[in-house]
A and B are shown apart, each in its own frame.
Chain A
Amino acid sequence: MQAIHRIRSRTVVLPAADVDTDQIIPARFLTTTIRDGLGRALFADWRFDSNGHPRPDFVLNRPETAGCEILVAGRNFGCGSSREHAPWALHDFGIRAVISTSIADIFFNNSLKNGLLPVLVDEGTHSWLLANPGADVEIDLEAATVTLPDGRRAGFPIDAFARHCLLHGVDELGYLLSQHAAIAAHEEVRSR
C-alpha cells in the first residue's frame, strides 16, 4: 500500500445521501477473482446508459472533474453491502479521499485498508464543500485536517492506528501476525 501524507486536489461533488455500494459498483462486476481494473465499473449504471455510452450529465463524466482525487459525498455514503470492490473501484478510478458527514461502517473500514481516506467533517464544512464543487482542498493526514481554499481548516477524526498504517503505507496484517503469542494463549485458555 502506498503511504499517504497529504492529498491536494480539486473536489468532485456527489451530493446524494445514502449512496449504496450497489451504485458504487453493481453486483454484476463482482464475479471477478482479482482486485485490479475495477475503476471501469465505478458507478457503472450512473456513468453509462444501457448501451454503454457515457451519460454526459453525470458528474464523473464531465471534463472538469477529470483527475479529481477528492470525492465530496452526501451523508451515509457507502451503505449496503460489504463488497470491498467499492473502495477498490474508487481507488482504481483515481479517488484518494471521500469527504462526508457520515460514512457507512463497513465501507469506512474497507477504505482505510485500501489507501482511500474516509474523512468525516462537520455540517458547516460539508455544506460549503457541497456548494463549491471543484474547490481546491488539501487534506493533511498527519494533522487530520481539511483545508479549504480560503485557509479555513476543519479537523476530522481518525483512528490512531489506522493513521499510522496509512502514513507508513503498511497494512494491518503484519501487526495482527505479530500478536501470534497472545492469540495462541487465548486459544489455549478457551479450549479448556
Chain B
Amino acid sequence: MFEKIWRAHEVVPETAETPAVLYVDLHLVHEVTSPQAFTLLRGRGITVRRPDRTLATLDHSTPTDPQQVFGGVPIRLESAARQVAELERNAAESGVELLGLKDVRRGIVHVIGPELGATQPGMTIVCGDSHTSTHGAFGTLAFGIGTTEVGHVLASQCLLQRKPKTLAVDVSGRLAAGVSAKDLVLAIISHIGVSGGSGQVIEYRGEAIRALSMDERMTVCNMSIEAGAKAGMVAPDETTFDYLRGRARAPAGAEWEHALECWRGLPSDASAVFNREVALDAAQVEPMISYGTNPGMVVAIGGRIPERDDEAFLKALRYMGFEPGEALAGKRVDVVFIGSCTNSRLSDLRAAAELLRDRKVARGVRMLVVPGSQQVKRAAEAEGLHEVFTAAGAEWRESGCSMCIGMNGDTAAAGHYVVSTSNRNFEGRQGRGARTLLASPATAAAAAVTGRITDPRELKA
C-alpha cells in the first residue's frame, strides 16, 4: 500500500544525488508552525501554489475557554492572540481557507481532516505537526513536517523526500472487553520502543485492526510517531468507506463510485514485502498506563513499575515521584484530561461519559473535557454527554489542543499528577513540573471518579 501511494505521488523519482519530489494532495496548516513559513514566502515574493489543496485551522495556542472563543473576551495570552491574527492574515492574503475561531467546523487539525472528509484513502497529507500520522488510518500516507517544509509545500505543493522503510505490525485476535485502541497502541509502543519505528512507515494489519472503528484506527495511527515512525497506515476497507460516505468534502455521486474503485485497489498485495515485521496478540492487551516520561514507559494498569537501575530510568521516576517496583493502581490523581487528537472524538467522549454517568468527580480532582472539534462538541451535546460531564463536576470546553500541549492557558501545576488521554508524557508537556500519566478515556474517567489510578473494569462491573 505504501509503495502504491508513494509511486503515484512521485513527481521526480529519487536518485543517488537527489531525493524524490513527492506531490502533496492535502496540506493542513495551523497557527503555531506556519507563521515563519508564510514569512519566508513573502520575503521571496512567492505565492501559495495550491490554496485549494491547503486547509488551515486554529487549535494549538487557541484558548478553549468559551469566554475567549465566543464571549467577546480577548485571547488572554497576547502572543497566542498574535499567532491567531497572523494566520488569519496569511490565509486571507494567500486565498487559503481558514476555519476561523468561531467557525463551527474548527477543531484539532487531525480531528477535522477526517471529519470533513478531506482525508481520503490513497492521498499524501502533510502538516507541520508530528501527529499527522493520524490520517494514515484511512490508508493515506500522512506525516509531520517542519516549518521550512511547510514553506516548501506552500510554494511548490511538493516535498523533497527519501523513501522510508516499511514495518508491518500484525495484531492478531481481538481486544478484550474493557480494553481500548489506546491501550493497544500503548502496548505496541512499549513492544517496539520509542525509537523502534525510526525511519519507517508502519502498516497496522491483522484481525484486531480490521475490527477497529475509524475513531479507533485514528487513535492507533496517531501514536505511530511515539514509536519514532514517520507514519502509520491501515488499509482502507468498508469501515473506511462507511465513515467517509456523505461527508462534506468526500466525493459524491459518480465521483464516489470512481473513488471507491480506486480505493479498493490500495491495500497491500499478498506478496508485498516489508523491511521488518512484528506480531502482537490483541487478546493479551490490558488497560495500560504510563509511569515515566516517554510513551514507551507503560505498564498494564494492575502492574508494577519495572525494577531497573539505569540513570535515565531513575531520572524519569524521580521526575514522576515514583519508585521502581511500585504498583500504580491506587496512586493519587490531581487532574484528569480528556482530549487531544488521540482521544477527543465522539466515541472517546462516550467512553468517558459512560463511567461518569450518575457519578461525581472525586473531591480535589480537576477534570477537563475538551472535544476535538466543534462538530464533536455539538454531537456530544446532542446526546447530552455535556450534562453528564458537568453534572459530575467536570469542565466542558471549546475544542483545541488544550492541556495536551499547554500552550493556551490549560496547564497543570508542578508536581500534580494528570491522567491524560493525550499522547505525550514528556517532562513539562502539560505544564512545568506537571506529571503526565497516559491512558485511555475510560481509565482517565475512572481516575476522575475515584481520585486514584483505577482499572476502569472495576467500576464498570
Known A-B contacts A16-B312, A84-B33, A105-B228; the reply to A27 vs B429 at CB < 8 A is: yes
Q: Is B162 an interface residue (CB 8 A)?
A: yes
Shortest C-beta distance, B101 to chain A (Å), equals 15
Shortest C-beta distance, B292 to chain A (Å), equals 10
User: Please, what's the 1-or-0 string for A102-119, where 1 marks a CB less than 8 Å from any CB in chain B?
Assistant: 101110011001100000
Shortest C-beta distance, B248 to chain A (Å), equals 21
List of B residues within 8 angstroms of A23 by Cβ = 426-428
> CA A177 – CA B198 in complex, angstroms?
29
List of B residues within 8 angstroms of A54 by Cβ = none
Instruction: Give how many A-B residue pairs fall within 8 Å (CB-CB).
Output: 166
Q: Which of A20, A80, A113 contacts B146 (CB 8 A)?
A: A113
Known A-B contacts A18-B294, A45-B428; the reply to A113 vs B194 at CB < 8 A is: no
Shortest C-beta distance, B231 to chain A (Å), equals 10
| CB pair A176 B146 closer than 8 Å | no
The A-contacting residues of B in range 135-184, CB under 8 angstroms, are: 144-149, 151-152, 155-158, 160, 162
In the complex, identify which listed stretch (A2-10, A62-70, A179-187) lies at the interface while the others stay far away: A179-187
User: Please, what's the 1-or-0 string for B45-81, where 1 marks a CB less than 8 Å from any CB in chain A?
Assistant: 0100000000000001100000000000000010110
Q: Which residue of A lies closest to B430 (CB)?
A: A27
| CB pair A183 B155 closer than 8 Å | no
| CB pair A31 B16 closer than 8 Å | no
> CA A177 – CA B49 in complex, angstroms?
10
Q: Which residue of B lies closest to A109 (CB)?
A: B146
User: Please, what's the 1-or-0 string for B228-264, where 1 marks a CB less than 8 Å from any CB in chain A?
Assistant: 1010000000000000000000000000000000000
Q: Is A83 an interface residue (CB 8 A)?
A: yes
Shortest C-beta distance, B397 to chain A (Å), equals 18
| CB pair A183 B11 closer than 8 Å | yes
Q: Is B267 an interface residue (CB 8 A)?
A: no
Q: Is A34 an interface residue (CB 8 A)?
A: yes
Interface residues on A, range: 35 or more
| CB pair A79 B149 closer than 8 Å | no
Q: Is A91 an interface residue (CB 8 A)?
A: no
> CA A77 – CA B294 in complex, angstroms?
13
Q: Is A171 an interface residue (CB 8 A)?
A: yes
| CB pair A22 B428 closer than 8 Å | yes
Known A-B contacts A80-B130, A109-B149, A183-B11; the reply to A16 vs B315 at CB < 8 A is: yes
Q: Is A26 an interface residue (CB 8 A)?
A: yes
Known A-B contacts A105-B199, A109-B149, A176-B156; the reply to A50 vs B228 at CB < 8 A is: no
List of B residues within 8 angstroms of A186 by Cβ = 11, 23
Q: Is B345 an interface residue (CB 8 A)?
A: no
Q: Which residue of A lies closest to B17 (CB)?
A: A160
> CA A177 – CA B82 in complex, angstroms?
30
Known: A105-B199, A113-B148, A160-B17. 11 other contacts (CB 8 A): A16-B311, A17-B312, A18-B194, A50-B414, A104-B198, A110-B148, A113-B146, A161-B160, A171-B148, A173-B151, A177-B156
